[in-house]
């Protein structure tokens, strides 16, 4: 009886190895056909045309940010010259390229809409969005030489004070 049980267990193991383990099929998330541009405009909190000027990649993905220089607003903060968005992990933005972005404001952070019409401005027909509004020129971010020079002088003074404090 003991030998028969061993043979049965051995046969079962061999049959299991021969047939192989069952590999479940994998499935992936995919998007349905995007809405019409006019519908996307209605359901989005923020819609703009802008150029990605920087991507601040943080080790904590939730703290990473995209900063866009806005050239035209259709919906959102129509006066600002820049906007900061947080990644969705499906984003394919590249620095220096211009995009038309459809985004949701969210509770704490704005993000591009998943599976929406966000894309390079050359591939999005913005004519159905109507006429957008230009951001106020006075609110555009500026980097001036005088501001950079003042920061440099201040940094030098601070370093000199640190040096003198450590010497005495």
Residue labelled with tokens 């599976």: 115
How many CB atoms are located within 10 Å of the residue 83 CB? Answer: 20
pLDDT per residue as tens digits for the range 24-42: 666 666 778 888 999 999 9
Q: Where are the beta strands (DSSP E) in 42-168?
A: 46-56, 65-75, 82-85, 98-104, 111-112, 119-120
**Which of 109, 18, 15 shows the shortest CA–CA distance to 61?**
109
pLDDT per residue as tens digits for the range 122-167: 999 889 999 999 998 544 444 444 455 566 666 666 666 665 666 5
> What predicted TM-score, i.e. pTM, was given to this entire model?
0.63
> Domain segments of the chain: what residues?
37-131
Considering the domain delimited by 37-131, tell me its CATH architecture: Beta Barrel (2.40)
Query: CA–CA separation, 161 vs 5, rounded Å?
Result: 86
């Amino acid at each position: 009886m003991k030998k028969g049980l061993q043979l049965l267990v051995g046969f079962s193991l061999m049959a299991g190895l021969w047939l192989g383990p069952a590999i479940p099929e994998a499935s992936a998330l995919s998007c349905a056909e995007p809405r019409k541009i006019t519908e996307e405009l209605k359901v989005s909190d923020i819609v703009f045309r802008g150029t990605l000027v920087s991507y601040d990649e943080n080790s904590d993905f939730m703290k990473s940010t995209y900063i866009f220089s806005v050239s035209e607003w259709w919906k959102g903060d129509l006066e600002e010259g820049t906007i900061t968005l947080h990644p969705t992990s499906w984003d394919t933005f590249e620095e220096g390229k211009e995009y038309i972005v459809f985004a949701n404001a969210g509770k704490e952070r704005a993000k591009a809409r998943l599976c929406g019409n966000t894309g390079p401005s050359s591939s999005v027909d913005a004519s159905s969005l109507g006429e957008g509004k230009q951001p106020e020129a006075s609110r555009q971010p500026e980097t001036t030489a005088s501001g950079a020079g003042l920061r440099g002088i201040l940094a030098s003074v601070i370093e000199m004070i640190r040096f003198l404090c450590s010497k005495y």
